[in-house]
């Protein structure tokens, strides 16, 4: 199976991620595009999406998986990210560094 990986800007990438999570049933808690945009708009980030040909028409590509990398800060306000920073405490030095 031939596939390709593309980098997406924030808004389009967030919409593609929302589509993938709705289409594939393995996600416990599906994220909405607005939630993704809110989390990433003020921080460095990278959205990569893998696309594969549709079985019924190999000339058409559809998004099938994604990877999001983003910067985290020592003093996060969002609960999920604050919890991550807390779990990294003692393992990652945030002082004077950018952490992805």
Q: Say if residues 66 and 16 touch (Cβ distance below 8 Å).
A: yes
Q: Residues of the chain with pLDDT > 90: what percent?
A: 53
Neighbours of 14 (CB within 10 A): 24
pTM of the model: 0.80
Q: What pLDDT was estimated at residue 86?
A: 94
The model's pLDDT over 23-70, given as tens digits with 9 standing for 90+, comes to 877 777 888 999 999 989 989 999 999 999 988 988 898 888 999 999
Nearest by Cα to 43 from 12, 86, 75: 75
State residue 42 phi and psi, 5-degree precision.
-110, 25
């Amino acid at each position: 199976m031939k596939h390709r990986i593309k980098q997406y800007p924030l808004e389009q990438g967030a919409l593609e991620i929302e589509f993938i999570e709705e289409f594939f049933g393995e996600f416990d808690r599906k994220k909405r595009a607005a939630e993704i945009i809110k989390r990433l708009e003020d921080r460095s980030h990278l959205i990569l999406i893998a696309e594969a040909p549709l079985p019924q028409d190999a000339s058409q590509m559809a998004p099938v998986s994604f990877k999001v990398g983003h910067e985290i800060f020592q003093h996060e306000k969002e609960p999920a990210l604050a919890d991550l920073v807390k779990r990294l405490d003692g393992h990652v030095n945030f002082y004077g560094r950018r952490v992805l």
